[in-house]
Amino acid sequence: MAGRRRRARWSSKSGLWPSRGAQIAERARWNLSKITGSETENVTALERSGDGIWKITVELLELPGMPETLDLIGSYETELDEEGKLLGYRRLRQYTRNRRGPEDSVDAEQQPGRNA
């Protein structure tokens, strides 16, 4: 490959430009944090459909607990277009940090102080 140069890639952590998926995931985290006012925790899923729509699942710290195992976490699905514009979001479930499975979801339980 004489005469061909590899394009330089860069990021602050690895020295490489992030992939498009990583850029979209970061955009989803930023948008969700700005809209909800909550701190983002993790990106747990990233999927691109055939029509170019990205679905990203992001966990947010909705309510800090004491101890941290009682933190209230919300799992949100976001949709972004190919340019990274937020198309929509919705909460999939809510749970305490010490409960990770769907059967342990706070949404599935009757919360204290609320009538059934």
Per-residue pLDDT of the chain (116 residues; tens, 9 = 90+): 444 444 444 445 555 567 989 999 999 999 999 999 999 999 999 999 989 999 999 999 999 988 888 899 999 999 999 999 999 999 999 999 887 655 555 554 444 443 43
pTM: 0.71
Taking CA atoms, 17 is separated from 9, 10, 13, 80, in Å, by 4, 4, 10, 20
| 105 within 8 A of 96, measured Cβ to Cβ | no
Contacts of 51 (CB under 8 A, 6+ apart): none
Q: What pLDDT is attached to residue 81?
A: 95
Q: Tell me if 29 is assigned to some domain.
A: yes
**Backbone Cα Rg of the chain:** 18
Q: Tell me if 9 is assigned to some domain.
A: no
Which CATH number belongs to the domain containing residue 33 in this structure?
3.10.450
Q: What pLDDT is attached to residue 95?
A: 93
The structure tokens 């937020």 sit at 86
- Containing domain of residue 53, as a range? 20-100
Task: Give the type of residue at 113.
Answer: G
